[in-house]
Chains A and B, each alone.
Chain A
C-alpha cells in the first residue's frame, strides 16, 4: 500500500536572497 504524500509548499520569500548591506555606520 502506498500512502498519498502531501506535496511540499514553499513560501515565496525562500526563493530570493536576503541581501543585507553590512552595518558600517
Chain B
C-alpha cells in the first residue's frame, strides 16, 4: 500500500535550492537564446543537447520515490537511466524540480516548490520520464 508522506515539521527550513529554479530566472540555451526558467520546453533541452559537443540527453524513468532516512525535507528518487536502464538513486530536497519530457517541471512536493520558487510545477510520479544529462563520449 502507498505510504502517506510524513507530516512536515512546523518550522520551515530556508530554501537551499539553486537560484536558477526561481521563477523568472534567465536561462541561456546552447544557441545563445535566453528564456525564463518557467518558459522552457522539452525541445529547448533537446536542441541544446544536439548543439553541445560534450553533453547528451538521457531519458530517466522514475522507478521509485521514497522518503529519506536522514530528513523529512529530502526524498530519494530512483531512476532507470538511458537505454541500458541503469539504476541511479539521488537524494534531493522534496521541492527539487525535475523536467519531465513533454510535461515540464515536476517535483516530489509541487506545492512546496511553487511556494518557495514560484515555479509552476506538477507532482513527480513513478513512470515519469525525466530529462537528465550524460557525457556524449565516455571513452
Contact = CB atoms under 8 A, between A and B. Distances in A.
Contacts, number: 73
A20 B84 CA distance: 12
Chain B, interface size: which category? 35 or more
Contacts of A12: 27-30, 40, 44-45, 48
Contact of A13 (B48, B84, B87): B48
Nearest to A21: B86
A8 interface: yes
Nearest to B30: A12
Interface residues of A, number: 16
Contacts of A17: 60, 90, 98, 130, 132-133
Interface in B40-87: 40, 44-45, 48, 52, 55, 57-58, 60, 79, 81-82, 84, 86-87
Contacts of A20: 88, 134-135
A10 B29 CA distance: 9
Q: Interface of chain B, helix or strand or loop or mixed?
A: strand
Given A15-B40, A19-B60, A8 B98 contact: no
Interface in A1-25: 7-22
A20 B40 CA distance: 23
26 contacts: A8-B25, A8-B26, A10-B20, A10-B26, A11-B27, A11-B28, A12-B27, A12-B29, A12-B44, A12-B48, A13-B133, A15-B20, A15-B21, A16-B45, A16-B99, A16-B133, A17-B60, A19-B58, A19-B60, A19-B79, A19-B81, A19-B90, A19-B132, A19-B133, A21-B87, A21-B88
